[in-house]
Amino acid sequence: MAKGIKPPKPKKCPICSTEYTPRSSLQKVCHNYRCAIAFNKKRDEELAAREQRRQERLQRDDLRQRRERLKGQAEWEKEAQAAFNRYIRWRDFGKDCASHDGPLISNSNYLTGSAVDASHYRSRGAASHLRFNVFNVHAACTRCNRQLSGNAVEFRIRLIQRIGLERLERLEADNTPRKFDIKYLKRVKSIFTRRARHYEKLRKRQMEYAA
């Protein structure tokens, strides 16, 4: 061996676990040809499996894109509203109901929204242009939102405390029509999905610290 060149360090064969000294940096197994065959076979299988996973991922992406292209206005609106409502529930996690003096429950039902609603102060039916307005929508118990139709008088009292009278009056006077096209609905879904995840992680960390 030439002077100044360090001899290669011994290695353990990944196939038979025998310790060997490689003849070059490219040698991956011991000097037994059976180990070389087994190593190459394993490598080829891993490459094939990796390629298969890549192809499956491409197929899933293609299928998702084709499904999205087939979605109509109503489907995008439904998905955007679901993302927005989930954001509202996580944003208001831990607060009292927006429509009465009582805490919102904080168990696992909160994740699905089955026990807590994203309640619209000005309803979607009467003011659909405010359906994605974060000042117009707050977490409320299902009793207030569904059985009491939002419990509007009590909702207004508490909304003044939350967003201020000036902002509330602007909200009440806002009758500017808005058109939510598919491009806009896609953006709403994307934005509020990210925001909901942010608040979900934040609230869960807060629960862990409080435990």
Domain boundaries of the chain, sorted by first residue: 10-70, 73-210
CB atoms within 10 A of CB 154: 17
CB 110 within 8 A of CB 89: yes
**pTM greater than 0.75:** no
Cα separation, 63 vs 169, whole angstroms: 46
Task: List pLDDT tens digits, range 135-186.
Answer: 999 999 998 999 999 999 999 999 999 999 999 999 999 999 999 999 999 9
Give 133-149 pLDDT, tens digit per residue: 999 999 999 989 999 99
pLDDT in tens, 37-84: 999 999 999 999 999 999 999 999 888 888 878 889 999 999 999 999
Structure tokens of 112?
A: 């699905």
